[in-house]
Amino acid sequence: MAAVRALVVPRLAAASAFPRFPGLRPLYPGARAPSPRAALHGSAPRPGARVALVLSGCGVYDGTELHEASAILVHLSRGGAEVQIFAPDMPQMHVIDHTKGQPSESETRNVLTESARIARGKISDLARLSAANHDAVIFPRGFGAAKNLSTFAVDGKDCKVNKDVERVLKEFHKAGKPIGLCCIAPVLAARVLSGVEVTVGHEQEEGGKWPYAGTAEAIKALGAKHCVTGVTDAHVDQKNKVVTTPAFMCETALHHIHDGIGAMVKKVLELARK
């Protein structure tokens, strides 16, 4: 037992003292750490493109799809990008019990607070995001894109988009800076940017391989052009500098989704350098 104490006690003491280290700030209830623009996890700023990543919570059914967010961050890191993460400071539409796939009626959660889990606490309010400070912006999917960043999950083609999401999309578009979107998130661009080209994959379910294929028709109804694209590919709207990939709109192996996200990130970074 003495040996166990000798191992555990120093580690607990070190963990409780973590706010003393440079670059780390304590997160007390009701308070959020300020987030100066810097690379993820407190590493030194990198020489590559400055990319903003916009999250919508934490969890596929009511927030951000974690695999997509993680894949984006990995590919951005490999591409030498400097990343800052944002999310709107607002209540979620609802909270889903992910073990049951059902709403948890007694719970309420905040989009920014939940997104901070993915960002390891290093996150800023979306209201602070300006295209002037970044070279590109990327939106991963998760039903949070259709529930928190917009009302698409409820209203379909008649949806409204969060005012800061709309502002950010218009700012980057007007500045000629690339916008990347995964999975169902392209509906945001379809709603905000007139005549944009996007993909959510295929337009037929094909025996369940593309269970959300009907989204393509909603995108067309919004006035956008839908382009059929495979899960490992990305579609590039060169005119509008919008890059999209199907990701989890397809029922397939995780590495295929990871590869498609990689293709999207690569094209975003290429456009950011032009």
What are the structure tokens assigned to 120, written together?
């390891």
Tokens of 249: 């709109």
Q: Where are the alpha helices (DSSP H) in 79-142?
A: 111-118
Buried b (16+ CB within 10 A) or exposed e, 193-232: beebbbbbbbbeeeeeebebbebbebbeebebebbbbbbb
CA distance 198 to 236: 8
Q: Is 183 a catalytic residue?
A: yes
Burial of 266 (0-12, 13-18, 19+ CB in 10 A): middle
Q: Which of 159, 182, 183, 250 is catalytic?
A: 183
Q: What share of the chain is helix, strand, coil (3-state, %, to 5)?
A: 40, 15, 45
Active site (catalytic) residues: 183
